[in-house]
Amino acid sequence: MHRGELSGTRKWPGDDAVEQAASTRCEKAFDAYVGLPFELSRLEYVPFTADQQGWEHGDRTVICVVYDPEEDTLR
């Protein structure tokens, strides 16, 4: 798991822009956390970010969770 902050102004940049920024941040953190580039790993990640209301109140947090898509439970 990785927790970080996205940059941006108070104005909501839109779902696509936030999703892209979060994915970029998570993929960079993935390499360091897992020890392999994302493309070479069987693991996946999912980013969690604030919605528009949270963003406009200053929440730029992104939480990246790594998981194994072949497993039914998290360990």
Residue 74: band (very low, low, confident or very high) from pLDDT cuts 50, 70, 90:
low
Burial 8-40 (b: 16+ CB within 10 A, else e): eeeebeeeeebeebbbebbeebbeeeeeeebee
Sequence-separated (6 or more) residues with CB below 8 Å from residue 40: none
Instruction: Pick the closest to residue 22 from 41, 5, 42, 9 (CA basis).
Output: 5
pLDDT at 67: 92
Q: Are 29 and 75 in contact (CB under 8 A)?
A: no
Q: What is the pTM of this model?
A: 0.82
Query: What confidence tens digit (pLDDT) does each residue in 5-63 have?
Result: 998 888 999 999 999 999 999 999 998 999 999 999 999 999 999 999 999 999 999 99
pLDDT at 71: 83
